[in-house]
Structure formats: structure tokens, C-alpha cells
A and B are shown apart, each in its own frame.
Chain A
């Protein structure tokens, strides 16, 4: 079964610092999909990005960037020049190409940006 590990539970940074969230995954499937979600203090889950296993291009969206490395089974997320509004829990998730369309989530990273 698929598994996602986010080792750091809580990360505190001072505003304008960069922060990188590590995500390591396990799957036996050759086709799979990776995601990052943000959960702000209000509680909803906000989709940030998806990546399929055949697309190893890194991506940048504003202050957010993602580094997908199949060789190390990692899909890391960096917030550049963090802002207080980035304070949230960030989840990495994995879906395989067969079975019940189950999104397997990591435990999440609580990011606290200190003004």
C-alpha cells in the first residue's frame, strides 16, 4: 500500500525566510500522482499542486516551488520569502493508478511564520 512520510511536524520560521517541507513516498505502482494541500487555521483543505509520476519537471508558482525527484521518491515543497499568511498545515499526498482512488496523506507539516 502507498505511504507518505513528512518527517518534520512543526516548523517555525521568521517572516521572509525560506522554508522547505520534505515529502518522501512509497509505492509499488509505476504510475502515480502526487499532491500538496494547504490547511489554513480556518480548517479547509486547499489544493496546491499535482504531479504525475512521468513528469519530473520542477514547478514554480509565485513564492511556491516543488522539487520532484523520482530517484529518491521525494516531492519537496519550498516557500520562498515566507509570509504570515503562509502559516498553515501542509499535507503531501499520493494516489495510485489502481484501486479505490485513495489519497494517502502524510501527517502534515505545521508551518508557523513569525512576524
Chain B
């Protein structure tokens, strides 16, 4: 089944403890992105990648890192999480711009 898989679905962590949210797609898509969703703010792009080893900042990149060493994987790294990073995170992939994104199921992160 064609899909974007992100893990974990739910995560509660403490301020400052490094964490990684994994994302993998099995559709051979070139484009991948991370979004965060917050009440009243909608969905905002954190980082994106146009291909292996090509990544760039989106609208809200502060406090996040990504890497794209393989086409299928695009992990999101929070080196030192803070409470303002409590949010619902979505990974997404796309073959081309006209297709729009296929989204993962989301990761609900709480930083206390």
C-alpha cells in the first residue's frame, strides 16, 4: 500500500531531551516536507526536501533539523525541544507539484 509512515503517533517528552520523529514513504517521491499544525494557525511548513541531500527551510524552521540521506526517509530532529514545540506534526511526500502531498497520520508531540 502506497503510504507515508511516521512514528511515533504520540510522544510526551521533557524540555531539552533530544528526539527524532521518523518519516518514510514507499512511493519513490522526490519531494518531502514536514508541517506542524497548531490551533488558530493552521498548517505551516517546517522544512522541505526536493531530493536526496537537498533540504531547505520552510516557514517555521527554528528549533528543528532534518536530513535526507535516502530518498524514502526524512526524519525530523528536535535537538532541544521546548514547550512551544508542542504540536501536531505531519510528514508528507509528493512526486510532483501538481499532485499535492500525501500526508502521514501525524505525530502528536507534547513537550513538558
Contacts and interface: CB of A to CB of B under 8 A. Distances in A.
Nearest to B101: A103
A30 interface: no
A68 interface: no
B16 to A, nearest CB: 27
Interface of B (DSSP majority class): strand
Chain A, interface size: which category?
20 to 34
Interface residues of B, number: 28
A45 B93 CA distance: 13
A43 B35 CA distance: 14
Contact of A101 (B31, B102, B103, B108): B31
Given A37-B103, A103-B92, 9 more contacts: A44-B105, A47-B101, A47-B103, A50-B98, A100-B48, A100-B58, A101-B33, A103-B45, A106-B42
Interface of B: 31, 33, 35, 40-45, 48, 50, 56, 58-59, 88, 90, 92, 94, 97-103, 105-106, 108
A58 interface: no
Given A33-B100, A47-B100, A105 B48 contact: no
B106 A100 contact: no
Contacts of B33: 101-103
B99 to A, nearest CB: 7
Given A33-B100, A52-B98, A43 B45 contact: no
A101 B97 contact: yes
